């Protein structure tokens, strides 16, 4: 069975008080989440240690970004090894905000995936098309190229530490969400691309992200190729986030 994952990306939000309150509330409710659902919190790097300590093993910690370099004179960067040292299990790579605001390319994403995998962590490659690309009928081609390029460095024995997160750029933070059918269609296409790369496509978790909330999570997670969510704003509200974590269909 593929891993079912709900990961909360806090982006550049948070405080010591929020970590204490929100992580504490999630941990208290962790017993009400399916045993096969992995709950991941991905805070700003400065709070990674506090989240890991507060989580006490009941949640997994993830980093929002790492460097494409292993170590050295790169002021302001953090390495994948540092993320592992702070207790991380996951690292986001290629989020659309990194691509759009910081100019990260597919080749940079691939270099970061390589570092994450070398460190023994799970790489979560984020892919997704803009509204203009979707309206031009290019969505599948754009996403396929991001998957192929970003995961081109993965060795045969590393696929178990790869997750793909499909986040249509036009749905991130906009309140717009792809319909469950649209999201499922793209997730199915992603699996075809992975299969074409000789990856174990049916064993790799593919998450959906883009304005996921408690009131639409269940419909999304019920689709056969959607294995969970990468949650943005809703992950900053304990009750909402916990509700999303509990949205998987029973017995799946």
User: What DSSP string runs through 33-62?
Assistant: S-TTEEEEEE--GGGHHHHHHHHTTSSEEE
Q: How far apart are CA 111 and CA 67, in angstroms?
A: 9
Question: Encoding tokens for residue 217?
Answer: 């999570």
SS3 123: strand
Catalytic member of 97, 114, 129, 167: 167
| Residue position matching structure tokens 């949650």 | 231
Angle at CA 243, nearest 5°, toward 143 and 234? 55
Q: How far apart are CA 66 and CA 225, in angstroms?
A: 28
The yes-or-no answer on residue 28 being catalytic is: no
Catalytic member of 95, 129, 187, 189: 95
| Residue position matching structure tokens 């199915």 | 188
Please report, in angstroms and rounded to a whole number, the separation of the first and last CA atoms in the chain: 9
Question: Residues, the chain, total?
Answer: 252
The yes-or-no answer on residue 95 being catalytic is: yes
Helices (H) and strands (E) in the chain, counts: 11, 8
Q: How far apart are CA 236 and CA 224, in angstroms?
A: 27
Q: Which residues are catalytic?
A: 95, 167
């Amino acid at each position: 069975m593929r891993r079912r994952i709900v990961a909360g990306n806090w982006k550049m939000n948070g405080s010591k008080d929020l970590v204490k309150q929100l992580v504490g509330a999630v941990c208290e409710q962790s017993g009400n989440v399916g045993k096969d659902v992995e709950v991941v919190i991905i805070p700003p790097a400065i709070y990674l240690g506090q989240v890991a300590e507060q989580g006490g093993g009941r949640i997994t910690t993830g980093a929002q970004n790492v460097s494409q370099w292993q170590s050295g004179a790169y002021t302001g960067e953090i390495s994948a090894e540092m993320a592992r040292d702070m207790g991380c299990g996951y690292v986001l790579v290629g989020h659309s905000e990194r691509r759009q605001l910081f100019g990260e390319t597919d080749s940079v994403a691939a270099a970061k995936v390589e570092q994450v995998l070398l460190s023994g962590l799970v790489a979560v490659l984020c892919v997704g098309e803009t509204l203009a690309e979707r309206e031009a009928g290019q969505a599948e081609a754009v996403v396929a190229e991001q998957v192929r390029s970003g995961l081109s460095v993965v060795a045969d024995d590393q696929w178990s530490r790869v997750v793909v997160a499909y986040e249509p750029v036009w749905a991130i933070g906009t309140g717009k969400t792809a319909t469950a059918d649209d999201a499922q269609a793209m997730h199915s296409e992603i699996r075809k691309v992975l299969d074409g790369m000789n990856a174990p496509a049916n064993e790799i978790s593919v998450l959906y992200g883009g304005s996921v909330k408690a009131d639409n999570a269940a419909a999304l997670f019920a689709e056969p190729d959607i294995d969970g969510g990468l949650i943005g704003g809703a992950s900053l509200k304990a009750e909402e986030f916990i509700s999303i974590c509990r949205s998987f269909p029973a017995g799946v």
